[in-house]
Amino acid sequence: MTVGLTHYLVVSTLLFCLGLYGVLTRRNAVAILMGIELMLNAGNINLVAFNRYVAPGAVAGHVFALVVITLAACEAAIGLALVMAAYRSLETIHVDEINVMKW
C-alpha cells in the first residue's frame, strides 16, 4: 500500500475535526487556542500535500505553509496575551465567565 494524497487528506481532516471539537467544547481559553493551532496545522498538511501531489515542481505550497506557521505564531502570541490580560482583570480564563460585554 502506497501512501497517496487521500491519506494525507484524511489525516488532515481528522486533525481539523479534532481542533474544531476542541474549540467548540473546551471552556478553557488556552485549550481553545490550542484547538485553533490544530486546525491551522491541518490546513498546513493540506497545503504541503497538494503541492507534492498536484504540482510537484512548485514551491508555492511550502512557502504558503511557512507563512501560515508564522501567522500561527503571531496568533498564539496575541491570543495568549489576551488570555493573560483577561486573567489579570477577571481572575479567570474560563470563557463562560468572561461575559462582561453581554447585555
User: Which residues are bridge partners to 94 per DSSP?
Assistant: 28
Shortest distance, position 13 Cβ to other proteins, whole Å:
11
| Separation CA 95–CA 91 (nearest Å) | 12
Binding residue for other proteins (CB under 8 A) from 1, 2, 89, 99? 99
| Separation CA 45–CA 48 (nearest Å) | 5
Among positions 9-28, residues that touch other proteins (CB under 8 A) are 20, 23-24
Among the candidate windows 4-12, 74-82, 83-91, 92-100, which touches other proteins by CB under 8 A? 92-100
